[in-house]
Chain A
């Protein structure tokens, strides 16, 4: 298990390094960072000072290592817009995003998993078809369309809920429902197919044949085995807790990381974009790491494979 954990940790570190390198390469490819980050009409002395401060007058390799050094300490420079350190701006937005995405995750898991299990156990009934139809709609409907349809119904026509803003807890309802509905559809579909896969296995028939009652077969034999692929999807959803609300936050004018990213991209505020990129990468990688470790804990076979190096 230790070997397994160490190898996963190394991979996680490597991915972060890859993201940093990606940001560095893309930044260098896009032209002179000094001219990009400073405005075009900045005085030449200021541009020179910026080049010196960021080491742009040194060789590419030195620049690369300096960049990695800055990035690992969370120093991405200051936001072009309000002059505050970019990483600070990003970190103070994270809680607002989590206020939306955590309840949405609870909705996804709380509705999606039971619905998927129910559909799998009652295959080809009306309930199963209904679940699948809703889930296909959830797959194919873009979040901004769902968001706007909900706004049209609940804010414009019925007037029950506010259309956008973040002044009160009521403002969070529509964005949470938007995020949760689409995710629950995906969750239901994956849970259903994982359950169907497991229910078709010989050991389920064997358990039934030796006289185990059906509820017990489901609870003791089917559910634990179907949990493994489901954990992957949940891990993926945890990974996107910070990054997964870009569109929805923008539609509802919710002051989270996603909206900051859209504004930063529109204004080409590069330090902020880089800081967000790194925060999201670090979060995703940690989530993936947690899922890998959970796998190792849930499924002893995974440990063995990783430790023997295959």
Chain B
């Protein structure tokens, strides 16, 4: 912000120069985190185009080859597994799966939670008590346990699993949306729009939502890594993403059996999980300081 104000409008640099200057103003950790996450997003979007090998192609002559700096060849930069399948290719597909699940999970949790928060704040009374009770229930049980029991009752399929991840931490958004909406309803702008005859859809969608969006976005940077951890934990236990699909947790669980002979099968996806969640947390902390005074 300070940077933008320091240039007169007519002289404001444009294009790459401005971008570079702005990036140079960021803390180093945030820059690295941002670069790492951009790489992850590019992989998630274009994994199919980047695969050096087919994930199912095996090469029995090159079984359990170590990664490139540990005595392996450049042909398989992260080594191979016990059937000679390329670990790097599997890793790319796993990154895509884990990020997609976390993305849709976060989206569902945010939408559901915010909608319920609006409903509670709009109707008050009995609707509000029911929603508050559901929030209490969700907050009082570890979500891992709820998720495991739902998987036991319903069995597992990818759409169900993604929907289940969407129920993680919806209560956070419901709480935030309800609290901030109650506060907004006492401020002038919501009352003014209501006096002008706007319906609830317009008030909540066009006026209150933009005003509370920054807090919601900061919360999303908390939910996203949490869902990655939850998904990879369940997949690691063999109860999440099912083969032949693969996710980061899946790969760790599977690599665990080769921990003595080929630890790279496990370490590569584990490293990606840690770096990704770490980057989002760093970026989220930074965003929180910039965007949202209420969460500090």
Interface segment out of the listed A71-79, A97-105, A111-119, A278-286: A278-286
* B252 x A144 contact (CB < 8 A): yes
| Residues from 63 to 94 in B contacting A, C-beta threshold 8 Å | none
Q: A140-B229, A143-B233, A152-B259 are in contact. List 12 more A-B contacts (CB 8 A).
A: A139-B281, A144-B253, A243-B145, A247-B236, A261-B145, A265-B148, A265-B239, A268-B155, A273-B149, A280-B145, A284-B141, A288-B140
B133 (CB) vs chain A CBs: closest residue? A18
Question: Across the interface, which residues of A come within 8 angstroms of B278, CB to CB?
Answer: 136-137, 140
Q: How far is the CB of B281 from chain A (nearest CB, A)?
A: 6
Instruction: Answer yes or no: B289 CB below 8 A from chain A CBs.
Output: no
* B237 x A262 contact (CB < 8 A): yes
Question: Across the interface, which residues of B come within 8 angstroms of A284, CB to CB?
Answer: 140-142
Interface string of A261-274 (1 = CB under 8 A from B): 11011101110011
The 6 A-B residue pairs whose C-beta atoms are closest, nearest first, are: A140-B277, A265-B152, A30-B153, A145-B270, A140-B278, A273-B152
* A144 x B281 contact (CB < 8 A): no
Q: Which residues of B contact A (CB under 8 A)?
A: 133, 136-137, 140-142, 144-145, 148-155, 225, 229, 232-233, 236-239, 249, 252-253, 256, 259-260, 263, 266, 270, 273-274, 277-278, 281-282
Instruction: Answer yes or no: A148 CB below 8 A from chain B CBs.
Output: yes
Question: Across the interface, which residues of A come within 8 angstroms of B263, CB to CB?
Answer: 152, 156
Given contacts A140-B277, A152-B259, A268-B155, contact A247 B229 (CB under 8 A): no
* B148 x A261 contact (CB < 8 A): yes
A25 (CB) vs chain B CBs: closest residue? B153
Q: How far is the CB of A77 from chain B (nearest CB, A)?
A: 14
Output the residue of A145, A149, A243, A268 with the most chain B CB within 10 A: A145
Size class of A's contact patch?
A: 35 or more
Instruction: Answer yes or no: A27 CB below 8 A from chain B CBs.
Output: yes
Q: How far is the CB of B129 from chain A (nearest CB, A)?
A: 11
B274 (CB) vs chain A CBs: closest residue? A141
B278 (CB) vs chain A CBs: closest residue? A140
* A266 x B270 contact (CB < 8 A): no
Instruction: Answer yes or no: A246 CB below 8 A from chain B CBs.
Output: yes
* A156 x B260 contact (CB < 8 A): yes
Q: Is the interface of B mostly helix, strand, loop or mixed?
A: helix
| Residues from 1 to 45 in A contacting B, C-beta threshold 8 Å | 11, 14-15, 18-19, 22-23, 26-27, 29-30, 36
Instruction: Answer yes or no: A181 CB below 8 A from chain B CBs.
Output: no
Q: How far is the CB of B282 from chain A (nearest CB, A)?
A: 8
Cα-based distance from A13 to B140 in the complex (angstroms): 12
Cα-based distance from A89 to B226 in the complex (angstroms): 31
Given contacts A26-B150, A136-B281, A152-B263, contact A262 B239 (CB under 8 A): yes
| Residues from 203 to 231 in A contacting B, C-beta threshold 8 Å | none
Contact partner of B149 (CB less than 8 A), chosen from A26, A247, A285, is: A26
Instruction: Answer yes or no: A277 CB below 8 A from chain B CBs.
Output: yes
Question: Across the interface, which residues of B come within 8 angstroms of A270, CB to CB?
Answer: 152-153
* B137 x A19 contact (CB < 8 A): yes
Q: How far is the CB of B36 from chain A (nearest CB, A)?
A: 13
Contact partner of A14 (CB less than 8 A), chosen from B133, B145, B151, is: B133
Cα-based distance from A152 to B252 in the complex (angstroms): 13
Instruction: Answer yes or no: A142 CB below 8 A from chain B CBs.
Output: yes
Contact partner of A266 (CB less than 8 A), chosen from B153, B232, B239, B256, is: B239
Question: Across the interface, which residues of B come within 8 angstroms of A131, CB to CB?
Answer: none
Contact partner of A15 (CB less than 8 A), chosen from B136, B150, B229, is: B136
* B142 x A156 contact (CB < 8 A): no
Question: Across the interface, which residues of A come within 8 angstroms of B150, CB to CB?
Answer: 26
Instruction: Answer yes or no: A172 CB below 8 A from chain B CBs.
Output: no
Instruction: Answer yes or no: A240 CB below 8 A from chain B CBs.
Output: yes
User: Could you name 21 residue pairs across A and B whose Cβ atoms are closer than 8 Å?
Assistant: A18-B133, A19-B141, A26-B149, A26-B150, A26-B153, A36-B153, A136-B278, A140-B225, A140-B229, A142-B273, A144-B236, A148-B259, A148-B270, A151-B259, A152-B259, A262-B239, A266-B239, A269-B152, A270-B153, A276-B149, A284-B141
